[in-house]
């Protein structure tokens, strides 16, 4: 197979197909492997039923927008996608709640059904908006998320440092799980955050699978069986 293809993509989801299309556009020979599509309509007890529509949660993200621009598919997706309004119906005993995308209408729904938690919901939405804005600004930047040289590490570290603490914790969690190949606990993430944010000469962090992460100057060193792989430390 190596004589005919440069890379094989497993899966036929939107992420796998977007990856395959980007690689093919950059002159890679791509093989896509996946199971057949399910029909749009199926029958249950003699009744024809339509499958639910596909919800593309990443449609509003800058990263997905850049993928569409590179593939010259922005207009096609804009014509074929429709915003779901309301996004969700919640049916509870003696309560009915709709979740519209418009924040003003959503606030009215909360006032009508749960006025006692209006302040908490407003604070939550404000925090989500702040985190989303920071994440969108990060993904709009052209940075190498596997930096190798000095300037790449410097740029990537600056981008990471601008992220809110909650997002940085998720980045460190993904880094740890990718390094050791298994789930990590909140204690591991807390120890990694201390290496990044409160460096005081502490020792390495032990991850599952015999993997150690230690601070090596301005970088994090992930040690696998005596071999170290370095990544940037956000200042």
Lowest mean per-residue pLDDT among 170-174, 192-196, 205-209, 231-235: 231-235
Q: What percent of the chain has pLDDT above 90?
A: 6
Residue with tokens 């049916």: 91
Q: pLDDT digits over 122-178, tens only?
A: 888 787 777 777 777 777 776 665 556 667 767 776 777 777 777 778 878 887 888
- Going across the sheet that includes 227-232, the strands are 205-207, 211-216, 219-224, 227-232
Q: How far apart are CA 172 and CA 175, in angstroms?
A: 5
What is the per-residue pLDDT for 77?
81
pTM beyond cutoff 0.75: no
Tokens of 200: 């005081």
The residues, ordered by sequence, that sit 6+ positions from 206 with a Cβ below 8 Å of its Cβ are 212
What is the per-residue pLDDT for 15?
83
């Amino acid at each position: 197979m190596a004589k005919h293809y440069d890379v094989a993509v497993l899966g036929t989801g939107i992420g796998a197909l977007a990856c395959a299309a980007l690689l093919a556009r950059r002159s890679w020979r791509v093989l896509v492997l996946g199971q057949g599509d399910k029909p749009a309509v199926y029958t249950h007890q003699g009744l024809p039923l339509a499958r639910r529509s596909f919800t593309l949660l990443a449609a509003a993200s800058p990263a997905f927008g850049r993928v569409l621009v590179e593939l010259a598919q922005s207009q096609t997706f804009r014509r074929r996608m429709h915003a779901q309004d309301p996004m969700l119906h919640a049916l509870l005993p003696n309560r009915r709640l709709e979740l519209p995308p418009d924040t003003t209408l959503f606030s009215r729904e909360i006032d009508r059904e749960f006025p006692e938690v209006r302040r908490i919901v407003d604070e939550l939405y404000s925090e989500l908006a702040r985190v989303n804005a920071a994440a969108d600004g990060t993904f709009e930047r052209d940075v190498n998320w596997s930096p190798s040289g000095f300037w790449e590490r410097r740029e990537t570290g600056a981008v990471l440092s601008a992220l809110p603490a909650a997002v940085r914790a998720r980045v460190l969690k993904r880094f740890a799980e990718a390094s050791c190949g298994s789930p990590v606990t909140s204690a591991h993430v807390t120890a990694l955050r201390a290496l990044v944010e409160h460096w005081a000469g502490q020792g390495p962090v032990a991850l599952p699978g015999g993997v150690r992460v230690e601070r090596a100057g301005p970088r994090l060193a992930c040690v696998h069986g005596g071999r170290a792989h370095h990544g940037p430390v956000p200042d």
